[in-house]
Amino acid sequence: MAKDFATKVYAVTAKFPRHEDYGLKCQLNRAVNSISLNIAEGTAKNSNKAFDHHLEIALGSVFEVVAASYLAMDRAYITKDQQEGLYSDGERLSKSINAFRNTLLLS
């Protein structure tokens, strides 16, 4: 899910104006990459507590992407439909991450 979310964000940010290459576009792309990378890094940890920490960071990055999508919509870089799609995907992903975190805490 995180990889698919990244693909969608990159498709949207590819159409941002050039002056945002090192601004909001970069921030969105970095945040969405952080989701998958923190999940991957967490799998290498030797404890559920450490893995949970990386999942928590990934979750924060999901919320960062969603928040940035509102900024992008306010600046007319993306449409309301695109923003709602990112919100929906982010909500679904965050629920999955939280569900996984709950299984780690029960183990």
What is the distance between the alpha carbons of residues 65 and 30, in angstroms, rounded to a whole number? 9
CA distances from 42 to 30, 37, 46, 104 (A): 18, 8, 9, 12
* Average pLDDT estimate for 18-36: 97
pLDDT at 107: 64
Q: Which of 34-38, 83-87, 101-105 has the lowest mean pLDDT?
A: 101-105
pLDDT, tens digit, for every residue of 39-98? 999 999 989 999 999 999 999 999 999 999 999 999 999 999 999 999 999 999 999 999
pTM of the model: 0.94
**pLDDT exceeds 90 at position 106:** no
Pick the CATH number of 2-106 from 1.20.1440.60, 1.20.1340.10, 1.10.10.10, 3.40.1030.10: 1.20.1440.60
CA distances from 105 to 1, 37, 50 (A): 21, 21, 11
